[in-house]
Amino acid sequence: MSSCKTLVRTSLSCIECGRRSNSRRTFSSLSLRHLRSPAASNSCNLWFSSLLCRNRGVRLEPYGVLSRPYGCNVGAVSSETPDYTGETVTKNLTLESPDDLSKDTVEELLSNTDDVLKLMKMERRPEVPNEDQFAQPNRWFPYLDKFKAGSTVLSSGEVLEALGPYILDVRREKFSNVVKNRSYSVCLVVEGLSDFGNVSATFRSADALGFQSVHVVSCDSSKRYRDNRHVSMGAEKWLDIELWDSTQECFKVLKSRGYRITTTHVGMDAVSIYDMDWSCPTAIVVGNESRGISDEALELSDLHCSIPMKGMVDSFNVSVAAGILMHHAVCDRTSRLGFHGDLTLEESQILLAEFSLRHSKSAISIAHEYAKRKAAEPKSKL
Q: What is the CATH number of the domain that holds 190?
A: 3.40.1280.10
The count of structural domains within the chain is: 2
3-state SS class at 135: strand
Q: Does residue 309 lie in a domain region?
A: yes
Residue 110, pLDDT score: 59
Q: Does residue 198 lie in a domain region?
A: yes
User: Which is it for the CA torsion 166, 170, 173, 177, positive or negative?
Assistant: negative
Residues 133 and 34 placed together within one structural domain of the fold:
no
Q: Does residue 257 lie in a domain region?
A: yes
Residue 149 in contact with residue 368, Cβ under 8 Å? yes
The amino acid occupying position 128 is V
Q: Which residues contact 353 (CB under 8 A, 6 or more apart)?
A: 122, 147, 156, 157, 159, 160, 163
Residue 289, pLDDT score: 77
Residues 297 and 237 placed together within one structural domain of the fold:
yes
DSSP string for 326-381? HHHHHHHHHHHHS-S----HHHHHHHHHHHHHHH-TTHHHHHHHHHHHHHHSPPP-
Nearest-5° Cα angle at 111, 108 to 117:
80
Residues 207 and 128 placed together within one structural domain of the fold:
yes
Residue 378: how many other CB atoms lie within 10 Å: 5
DSSP string for 67-128? E--TT-HHHHS-TT-GGGTT-HHHHT--PPPSS--SS--HHHHHH-HHHHHHH--SPBPP-E
Residue 53, pLDDT score: 45
Which of 36, 42, 37, 66 is closest to 54 using CA atoms?
Answer: 66
The amino acid occupying position 380 is S
Residues 28 and 132 placed together within one structural domain of the fold:
no
Where a domain ends, among 315, 337, 359? Answer: 337
Range of 43's domain? 24-69
Where a domain ends, among 318, 337, 356? Answer: 337
Residue 81: how many other CB atoms lie within 10 Å: 12
CA–CA distance, 176 with 308 (Å, rounded to integer): 36
Q: Does residue 308 lie in a domain region?
A: yes
Segments of 102-239 assigned E as strands:
128-130, 133-135, 147-149, 152-154, 186-191, 213-217
Going by the DSSP 8-state scheme, the letter that residue 270 receives in this structure is: P
Residue 277 in contact with residue 328, Cβ under 8 Å? no
Residues 189 and 44 placed together within one structural domain of the fold:
no
Residues 214 and 303 placed together within one structural domain of the fold:
yes
pLDDT by 10s per residue, the chain, length 382 = 555 444 444 445 555 445 554 544 443 334 444 444 444 445 444 444 444 444 444 444 444 444 444 433 333 333 333 333 334 454 444 455 445 444 445 556 655 555 566 778 899 988 765 444 444 456 799 999 999 998 899 999 999 999 999 999 999 999 999 999 999 999 999 998 877 788 889 999 999 999 999 999 975 544 444 444 455 567 888 999 999 999 999 999 999 999 999 999 887 889 999 999 999 999 999 988 778 899 999 999 999 999 999 999 888 889 999 999 999 999 999 999 999 999 999 999 999 999 999 998 899 999 999 999 988 887 766 5
Q: Which residues contact 136 (CB under 8 A, 6 or more apart)?
A: 127, 256, 257, 258
Cβ burial of 312 (10 Å; 0-12, 13-18, 19+) is exposed
Residues 34 and 114 placed together within one structural domain of the fold:
no
Q: Does residue 359 lie in a domain region?
A: no
Nearest-5° Cα angle at 238, 232 to 244:
80
The amino acid occupying position 84 is Y
DSSP string for 32-62? GGGGSSHHHHHHHHHHHHHHHHHSTT-EEPG
The per-residue b/e assignment along 98-113, b for 16 or more CB within 10 angstroms, e otherwise, is: beeeeebebbebbeee
Residues 325 and 280 placed together within one structural domain of the fold:
yes
CA–CA distance, 42 with 117 (Å, rounded to integer): 56
Terminal CA-CA length for the chain: 82
Residues 123 and 37 placed together within one structural domain of the fold:
no
Q: Does residue 19 lie in a domain region?
A: no
Residue 267, pLDDT score: 79
Residues 230 and 331 placed together within one structural domain of the fold:
yes
Going by the DSSP 8-state scheme, the letter that residue 292 receives in this structure is: B
Where a domain ends, among 337, 355, 373? Answer: 337
Residues 64 and 121 placed together within one structural domain of the fold:
no
Q: Does residue 10 lie in a domain region?
A: no
Q: Does residue 224 lie in a domain region?
A: yes
The amino acid occupying position 25 is R
Residues 63 and 188 placed together within one structural domain of the fold:
no
Residue 71 in contact with residue 56, Cβ under 8 Å? no
Prediction pTM value: 0.69
